[in-house]
Structure 1
Amino acid sequence: MAATIKDVAKMANVAPSTVSRVIANSSRISEKTKERVREAMNELGYHPNFNARSLANKSTKTIGIIMPNSAKIAFQNPFFPEVIRGISMKAYQEGYGLYLSTGQTEDEILQEVKNMVYGGRVDGILLLYSRINDKIMPFLIEEGFPFVLIGRPYKIDEDRVTFVNNDNFKAAKTVTEYLLLLGHERIGFIGGHLDYVVTIDHMKGYEQALTNVNIPIREEFIVHHEEVKEGGQNAIIELMSLVNRPTALVVSDDIMTFGVLRMLADMGVQVPHDMSIVSFNNVMISELSSPPMSTVDIHIYDLGFEATDCLINKIHHPTSGERKIIIPHRFIKRQTCNKQEERV
């Protein structure tokens, strides 16, 4: 016969209500008592019926995670597994499960979000991206449903949205200034799709750095591709076909930079001797490129962890107000940059 909550309470010498609070990870219960109750649960093989608890508490103890496009495409970029690692850690600490979106198109994703909200499937939602003309954020705001954005809201009053982000404008401006200090003036920019706010912020930071030193913005030096690795390869073909090629590149994603490096190698262009490159994200394999990438560490894990912390706080304290958290970035100099005057 399966153990009951009363059996656990008897073994741990506590009231059944205390066992319920331990299961809910209540801060009102001491860690010592929690440990004793959990030991009793393990010994008796007791497993809480979270479905029954959800019906009673009107809580699912589940967080919805909304990916850009399909999970299949998103997971080709190590950014998303790493940000979900941060989300998972905080969710685990607080006793929450995760519900991952699987929609292939923007309309499918919106319908999935509506199903989550109207069907009571999740207590809150994490948006892992921000895009122009987004339909999901306005819907969640109108419904008053708890959500947190990883990124920056576009043309939505920031006081209406809790978000966790990097200062992507400043990061792009900084790495462009670094290339300028190395003597480069013909600096190209390779970015993702212009629908995404992070791409816009990167491009604006890049352009501001050039404007500050009176270097004209050359439209032919700015290339955008939605694909990750393939996009980097195609962008290089475009840029290297120019009569006056760039001598340095700002690339908005490490995986895209892998495509750039591969195509440059095929063309016999040596990095950093013939071309300097700076990138973003500092994914785990960026140090394994040849040569190792100079890149901006945006602390992806922390983005996920802090966003989940904010969301759970919103779920528990709906009237607490919106928050804006900026995760610091760090420029990591490796071996893909060189001084312009040192090139032959």
Structure 2
Amino acid sequence: MVTIKDVAEKAGVSPSTVSRVISDSPRISEKTKEKVRLAMKELGYHPNAIARSLVNKTTKTIGIVMPRSAEHVFLNPFFPEALRGIAKCAHDEEYCLLLTTGNTEKEQMESLNSIVFGGRVDGLILMYSRVNDAILNKVMELNLPFSMIGRPYNDENINFVDNDNVKSAYEATNFLIKKGHRRIGLINGSLNLVVSLDRFEGYKKALIENKIELDESLLTSSDFVQQGGYDCMKIILSSPKPPTAVLVTDDLMAFGAIRAARELSFKVPQDISILSFNNIPLAEHATPPLSSVDINAYKLGFEAARLVIDEIMGRNEEKQKIIVETKLISRKTVANYKAK
């Protein structure tokens, strides 16, 4: 097993100099650092992460707080894509990731306490923003660097990255209105999530500006899963006066909604148009290809990681708020409405 002494001998420096190079001490010249790093590479030496954390009092690890158990979360492609962005930024900064999960709020709290009080992370990323969230309140109490994907429900001084979900839902609803639709249903996510509340506000704003009455029989909400979209669409299409278009706030839910429409003999988009959110890779391969708002989940994840690492490293004195632009991708599930 290669040791620090072996590296020091090959590089022609003292073992303490090697240790300082490993911790990237500013007291060591770049020339010496290059010489030591070359020796490490040639010998195949890898610093002991545990030993380094004891010396530097850092773990070089970011904790990821998921909204519920990973078993369910990974059914929705948004999370793997956002995690891909987080992983890229973490890799660039030489950080590792540690997922914390739980089926209930109590299990989430226990998992969070385990990694924080066990000294296993330098910072945290919350993958969601929920109304009156006990987990967020706990994270704020811990006085540990953190960021979140999603706008905080109350405008606390928090690092976060998000889309402008009011604006994007407003634009999506207007897109349907310009296609001639005036009875527009909404299949929303869980109403304890800030993203769902914001998208409802955008939808409502577009209707009001176009003098379209808000029909509560066309408003539904569920979890961001395919079955949720299926159940919601069944409810909406059972209305005495079904909509001609539906705005769905998640692509997986939209797939379920399309299946429900077909079972009820509604053709997409001839009988009912569907516009969704997230633009997951499967959207363009759906039958018909799904029109969807691209929220750039990868960038949301990347920027969330950058925010928390910047705070850990002391690069930002003030909390940062980053808004990632969205883009409506028009495919084949939305058609012009012509009154019969």
TM-score norm. by structure 1 comes to 0.92
1:54 equivalent in structure 2: 53
The yes-or-no answer on 1:97 pairing with 2:96 is: yes
- Residue from 170, 187, 190 that aligns with 1:190: 187
1:161 equivalent in structure 2: 158
Q: Is 21-30 or 221-230 further displaced after alignment?
A: 21-30
Task: State how far apart, in whole Å, the 2-side matches of 1:218 and 1:28 are.
Answer: 68
Q: CA deviation at 1:43?
A: 2.6
RMSD: 2.2
The yes-or-no answer on 1:265 pairing with 2:266 is: no
Indicate the SS of the match to 1:231: helix
Q: CA deviation at 1:132?
A: 0.9
1:119 equivalent in structure 2: 118
Cα deviation, 1:44-93, whole Å, max 9, x if unaligned, reads 12121110111111111111001011111110000011111111111111
Q: CA deviation at 1:267?
A: 2.3
1:243 equivalent in structure 2: 240
- Residue from 251, 254, 260 that aligns with 1:254: 251
2:336 equivalent in structure 1: 339
Cα deviation, 1:246-281, whole Å, max 9, x if unaligned, reads 000100001111111122222221111111111111
Task: State how far apart, in whole Å, the 2-side matches of 1:230 and 1:328 are.
Answer: 29
- The percent of aligned pairs where both chains have the same amino acid is 49
Task: State how far apart, in whole Å, the 2-side matches of 1:327 and 1:27 are.
Answer: 35
Q: Quick one: which amino acid aligns to residue 313 of structure 2?
A: H
Indicate the SS of the match to 1:239: helix
Indicate the SS of the match to 2:239: coil
2:77 equivalent in structure 1: 78
2:201 equivalent in structure 1: 204
For structure 2, the 5+ residue unaligned runs are none
- Residue from 152, 175, 178 that aligns with 2:175: 178
The yes-or-no answer on 1:294 pairing with 2:300 is: no
How many residue pairs were aligned? 340
Task: State how far apart, in whole Å, the 2-side matches of 1:77 and 1:42 are.
Answer: 40
Q: Is 37-46 or 105-114 further displaced after alignment?
A: 37-46
Task: State how far apart, in whole Å, the 2-side matches of 1:91 and 1:26 are.
Answer: 21
Q: Quick one: which amino acid aligns to residue 332 of structure 1?
A: I
The yes-or-no answer on 1:223 pairing with 2:220 is: yes
Indicate the SS of the match to 1:322: coil
Task: State how far apart, in whole Å, the 2-side matches of 1:250 and 1:65 are.
Answer: 30
**Residues 139-154 of structure 1 mapped to structure 2, 5 A cutoff:** 139-154=138-153
Q: Quick one: which amino acid aligns to residue 60 of structure 1?
A: T
CA distance 1:261–1:21, change in 2 (3 Å): farther
1:68 equivalent in structure 2: 67
Q: Quick one: which amino acid aligns to residue 207 of structure 2?
A: L
CA distance 1:29–1:242, change in 2 (3 Å): farther
Task: State how far apart, in whole Å, the 2-side matches of 1:175 and 1:150 are.
Answer: 21
Indicate the SS of the match to 1:198: helix
Q: CA deviation at 1:24?
A: 4.6
Q: Is 307-316 or 260-269 further displaced after alignment?
A: 260-269
**Residues 296-315 of structure 1 mapped to structure 2, 5 A cutoff:** 296-315=293-312
CA distance 1:329–1:25, change in 2 (3 Å): farther
Task: State how far apart, in whole Å, the 1-side matches of 2:202 and 2:10 are.
Answer: 62
Cα deviation, 1:259-317, whole Å, max 9, x if unaligned, reads 11122222221111111111111111111111111111111111111110110111111
CA contact (8 A) 1:25 1:94 kept: no
CA contact (8 A) 1:25 1:95 kept: no
CA distance 1:339–1:14, change in 2 (3 Å): farther
CA distance 1:61–1:184, change in 2 (3 Å): same
Task: State how far apart, in whole Å, the 1-side matches of 2:36 and 2:147 are.
Answer: 33
CA contact (8 A) 2:60 2:94 kept: yes
CA contact (8 A) 1:24 1:95 kept: no
TM-score norm. by structure 2 comes to 0.93
